[in-house]
Copies of this chain bind each other. A is one copy, B any other.
Amino acid sequence: MTQSNAASTHGAATGSDSEIRLAVSTVIFALRRAKHPSKKWEIVMPVVRRTRDPHEGKWALPGGWLRASEGLAAAATRTLAETTGLHPAYVEQLYAFGAVERSTTRVVSVVYWALLRADAVRERAELENVEWFAVDGLWGLAFDHDEIVQYALWRLQNKLDYSGIAQGFLPELFTLSDLREVHEAVLNKPLDPANFRRQVESTDEIVSTNEFRKGSHRPARLYRTNIEKGLANHGPLQPESH
């Protein structure tokens, strides 16, 4: 499916009043160096410009119709790859949005959110109709996509409190400062380094290594994700193949 089709699927449905179509959309978070000097990183996401009605010309979440032979998470990662050329560090189902009036025909959208590692992201300016925008201040998307983006951001922010999710943005080895800077980007506020260190060291989400990053100051210890804990806990939910 080309990008213009992927962005325009909501206009393609025809059929009887009883037809309900199923779409899968994705909110894809990544880090980018912040333009504003107050913080190091900002959260950005790709959106696609719609080339036909409804909402022609507006930006929308990457997505497309679910295929009969494809699982939900697989549809989400396919969409993500088509839009960014990348594979996510983390994927999770956000919510099924099915208000009767959310589109001109009846469409239920199962939305996934994903994280891309910082060292993997490059802006694909050459990909037609796709642009990356900072999540902070992003409004005016098509359909109910504004609400969806805010809910995904809220989910990510809450997850910081009880999981190692922030590590999904980082390379395999990272310093405590790197991790704090990710939390600051997600929460959009500065964090006290000493408090942050105490908080993180009281969890078992990260594991220290014997490696250090050398820099202009004293070398900083490198950490990695605790593989036994992973990035999040899904209890008895069977992992979806994607």
Contact = CB atoms under 8 A, between A and B. Distances in A.
A22 B22 CA distance: 8
A78 interface: no
Contact of A93 (B22, B96, B155, B238): B96
A227 interface: no
Contact of A147 (B98, B110, B158, B236): B236
A68 B19 contact: yes
Contacts of A96: 72, 93, 96, 110
A236 B139 CA distance: 14
The oligomer's copy count stands at 2
A238 B102 CA distance: 12
Given A17-B68, A108-B22, A99 B240 contact: yes
19 contacts: A17-B69, A18-B67, A18-B68, A66-B98, A66-B108, A69-B100, A71-B98, A71-B100, A72-B96, A93-B96, A96-B96, A99-B238, A99-B240, A144-B238, A147-B236, A151-B236, A151-B237, A154-B237, A158-B235
